[in-house]
Structure 1
Amino acid sequence: MVGRAIVKLNVLRQAILNRSKFEGTFPIENNELLHPYEVGTVQISIRSHFRNEPPLTSVLYRASYMRNKTLPMIIHGIDELDGIEEVNEEANEEDNEQDHLNFIMRPEAKSISIFNFLLSKKTMNSINELMALFRGFYGHGWKLSKLEFIKAFIMLEKYYNQKPNHVTGDLVKDLDKLEKATYYLKFCTASYGSFMFNVFGYGYTLAPKNAVRMNSDRKTIQDYFGISKDDIICWEFGHSSVSVPSYMIIRDPKTNSIIISIRGTLSATDIITDVLAYYEPWKNGFVHRGMFRSAQYLVRKSLKDIRVAVKKFKVNSIQVIGHSLGAAVSCLVTLLLRKRCKDLIEDGIDIHAWSFAPPPCCSLDIASRNETKSYIDNFVNENDVVPRLSYGSFMNFKELIKFVVNELKDDNYKKMSSKDKLSALMASIDDYHKNLVSSSREQKLYIPGTIYYLYKKRDPHNPLLREILCEKSTQESFTDIALRKNFLLHHLPGKYDKRLRKVMKRLAKQSDYVQIDDKS
């Protein structure tokens, strides 16, 4: 693969609407080291297929017959899919969805021997898509040895550790908001099961003599949150299919709300959902395919139960909560619910998302809308790398790795002392990184809604003293994979809990001080 051809869809639109064949010639550009130059051309020929017409045949691509779907959905996005999901039978729905994807996305999928008999059709289709994505990622000059990769990785860690994280200075002083976040974070941890719930110290208060209660997930949740069996509305755990989330829906008497808590990555199928990173059109933007499918599944599966529970318990809100993969799905579920449940919103039912360590899941135009920011709250802990991961940022990271590998091979650095060599390498990487960020054409995903950033700050008067701050951040601050210290450790739910509590403790002290000062 020597380059790339970018074909904007608007040049194809009229040909598709007119049901005519389209042919065009487009230049291929080489993107090596961000110095593009034309290296050739590619001839593209496209034929359209519509409902009630004979299927097209092709040597390279399969144009499957799309039952109950029409081509304008491809042009205008997939908003219409929401309505189709409710009227189609589930089995036909999955076939229709896959036919639709085969038509617009990829070459004929090849079978994977015995796995076809061991895994479900939906999971196999997702694995085939993942393999196509894998080939696309590694097909652009990724020819590095393991040792080269490790050396470049370590060098990038040193580079990012010397660069401070971007901060806005817009500090959060809303103690009530942080208290709610800390409370809802417990539901995220509980969705991982009783073992993890106890590991992070919550369950110990229930059974100090037997802190780990095996096979007692429901009982642990009932005891800790003070709910009964009747308060558990849905318990969807134990699935082994891609884009089928694990989640629970309960009634929380304390807040008089319905809680939808979605589990993060904990299984192989969850990992496939994470990395199924094709972009799908939606709401005049695009979303992460694997995460969006998970959100669609939850809404399709449990919307009726949610509506019944709202009326039965007379709650005043629906709180959608998640950590990691569950956080991104919770954001998308909230967007879908607010679209589907306008009648509940008109009746005063608040539908709100609380997400912790969310990976990016949608395009910037969706993520940065003022309306979205009013009902989705995200919390990101300092160096946590997950909120910075998307296919676009990963492609840029790959280019950065390749550049560092080439720099480490440069003979000019061998003549320098170790100190001068490191300094020169850092300067070279920094120049390339700035150029990469400013000129990259990779489409990135973003975190939707309001983002609260937790980070540690040193006291300028006493470097040994540090305090944890929380500020409102921006979507653009999380588009670069920064390998800073503890980039994985900062992702754990327990780390989020500790930092939120430290921020609240600091704000509480400041509040007490102000009250005393006012009285005096």
Structure 2
Amino acid sequence: MSVACCIPIVECVSCLACVRWVWKKFLYTAGRESENWGLATASEFEPVPRFCRYILSVYEDDLRNPLWAPPGGYGIEPDFVVLKKDYGDTQGRVSPYMIYLDRENRDIVVAISGLNLGKESDFLLLLDNRLGQTKYDGGYVHNGLLKAAQYVLEEECEIIRELLERNPDYMLTFAGHSLGAGVVTLLTMLAVKNREKLGNIKRKRIRCFAIAPTRCISLNLAVRYADIINSVVLQDDFLPRTTVALEDVFKSLFCFPCLMCIMCLKDTCTLEEKMLQDPRRLYAPGRLYHIIVRKPFRFKKISPVVKTAVPVDGRFEHLVLSCNLTSDHAIIWILKESQRAFDCRHCWKASRLWIFR
């Protein structure tokens, strides 16, 4: 057989392989990673929209006259905001944050905002990492995020301890989005390991909600802290799935869609057994909540479904080809869909109880 005859055959085989690969990638938009997970209850998912609102409020300069408040407002009482710090206060060591005394829900909340594309300090913080560079508590963690978490704990441990002593029945909750989600994850682990700095608070009074988190801790730590750390991912969000060095992402000369395709090819061609055997590999932390709002090849959204599990493998290992992979990372969309998911789940539960009476 001549070379000229072989070329069309090779092209056909290559095309079929590409079509199969693209088909597999599109299937992940249906929530394939979480298809075998259980459904989250309304009661355990209830805090998520509330903490999304608190995180959003960190971006406001004046909470009494908010500029970007979503419908219904932030649910914040400005008089109970204990402190609020911006980039000038933190000198770029961490993104803006606030401490809020939530009297209605008996909660002391430390909320940290996400990555600001206009702040070089945020990029330097996110890029301060190398695979396996930093060991902590028997595992591996993101170096830059650990430094930021240590800074917050050292700066605010006195205030947090005083609040806990004054309110002995309150929870201590750390909440953050994107970059802030990684910081609060490490901050929660530091709080657990240094409880004497916080008045010897019991572990069960500490919890964390990491909204659209970056991959920041090794698998053994992700599972060990799953009782107090919760990660929330909206359908196709790219960041919890980004396994390559983030430095390569932001320094790449490729356009973002091309980079996503290259990363997809890489994680498709790499054997999962090889990936999962590396103890330095970082993951989305804790218990996972996956909000599903779309099905493949459907333009209309479905009623939201929230799946949850503490998987020991398959923690969003594959990037998906989706036009929503960046929009699903936005805190405002996560707030809207999490609220819609809670309302649907809550109403469904209430109607079921009414039927069985």
Q: TM-score range by the shorter chain?
A: 0.7 to 0.9
When residues 157 and 381 of structure 1 are mapped into structure 2, their CA distance, relative to the original with a 3 A threshold, is farther
TM-score, length-normalised on structure 1?
A: 0.54
Q: Give the match for residue 208 of structure 2.
A: 353
1: CA distance between counterparts of 2:143 and 2:121?
14
| Superposition RMSD in Å | 3.8
Greater relative contact order, per chain length (Cα 8 Å cut-off, separation 6+): 2
State the Cα distance separating 1:495 from its structure 2 match. Answer: 1.1
| Equivalent pair of 2:139/2:217 in contact (CA under 8 Å) | yes
1: CA distance between counterparts of 2:211 and 2:238?
12
How much identity, in percent, do the aligned residues show?
A: 18
Q: Give the match for residue 286 of structure 1.
A: 140
| Equivalent pair of 1:175/1:504 in contact (CA under 8 Å) | yes
Write the deviation string for residues 187-245 of structure 1: whole angstroms up to 9, x where unpaired: 1111122599643525xx56xxxxxxxxxxxxxx7xx52241xx333322123645334
2: CA distance between counterparts of 1:242 and 1:284?
29
**1:376 maps onto 2:225 in alignment:** no
State the Cα distance separating 1:348 from its structure 2 match. Answer: 8.1
Q: Give the match for residue 234 of structure 1.
A: 83
State the Cα distance separating 1:173 from its structure 2 match. Answer: 3.9
Q: Give the match for residue 490 of structure 1.
A: 328
State the Cα distance separating 1:509 from its structure 2 match. Answer: 3.2
State the Cα distance separating 1:504 from its structure 2 match. Answer: 1.8
Letter in 1 for 2:307: E
State the Cα distance separating 1:170 from its structure 2 match. Answer: 2.4
1: CA distance between counterparts of 2:246 and 2:87?
32
2: CA distance between counterparts of 1:244 and 1:464?
39
2: CA distance between counterparts of 1:363 and 1:347?
24
Once the two structures are superposed, the pairs formed by residues 200-279 of structure 1 within 5 Å of their partners are 201-202=70-71, 224-228=75-79, 231-239=80-88, 241-266=91-116, 267-278=119-130, 279=133
2: CA distance between counterparts of 1:360 and 1:465?
28
| Local SS of the residue matching 1:322 | strand
1: CA distance between counterparts of 2:203 and 2:62?
37
| Equivalent pair of 2:211/2:233 in contact (CA under 8 Å) | yes
**1:162 maps onto 2:26 in alignment:** yes
Q: Which runs of 5+ in 1 are unaligned?
A: 1-154, 207-220, 406-424
2: CA distance between counterparts of 1:290 and 1:348?
25
State the Cα distance separating 1:347 from its structure 2 match. Answer: 5.7
State the Cα distance separating 1:171 from its structure 2 match. Answer: 3.4
Write the deviation string for residues 31-86 of structure 1: whole angstroms up to 9, x where unpaired: xxxxxxxxxxxxxxxxxxxxxxxxxxxxxxxxxxxxxxxxxxxxxxxxxxxxxxxx
2: CA distance between counterparts of 1:281 and 1:326?
20
Letter in 2 for 1:358: P
Q: Which runs of 5+ in 2 are unaligned?
A: 1-18
Letter in 2 for 1:503: A
Q: Give the match for residue 68 of structure 2.
A: 199
1: CA distance between counterparts of 2:78 and 2:190?
27
1: CA distance between counterparts of 2:356 and 2:267?
53
State the Cα distance separating 1:257 from its structure 2 match. Answer: 2.0
State the Cα distance separating 1:304 from its structure 2 match. Answer: 1.2
Write the deviation string for residues 303-347 of structure 1: whole angstroms up to 9, x where unpaired: 111111222344521111101111111111011111111575656
Write the deviation string for residues 436-478 of structure 1: whole angstroms up to 9, x where unpaired: 5444587421122101001125499x99672221101436332
State the Cα distance separating 1:484 from its structure 2 match. Answer: 2.2
| Equivalent pair of 2:268/2:318 in contact (CA under 8 Å) | no
When residues 177 and 349 of structure 1 are mapped into structure 2, their CA distance, relative to the original with a 3 A threshold, is closer
**1:388 maps onto 2:241 in alignment:** yes
**What is the aligned residue count?**
317
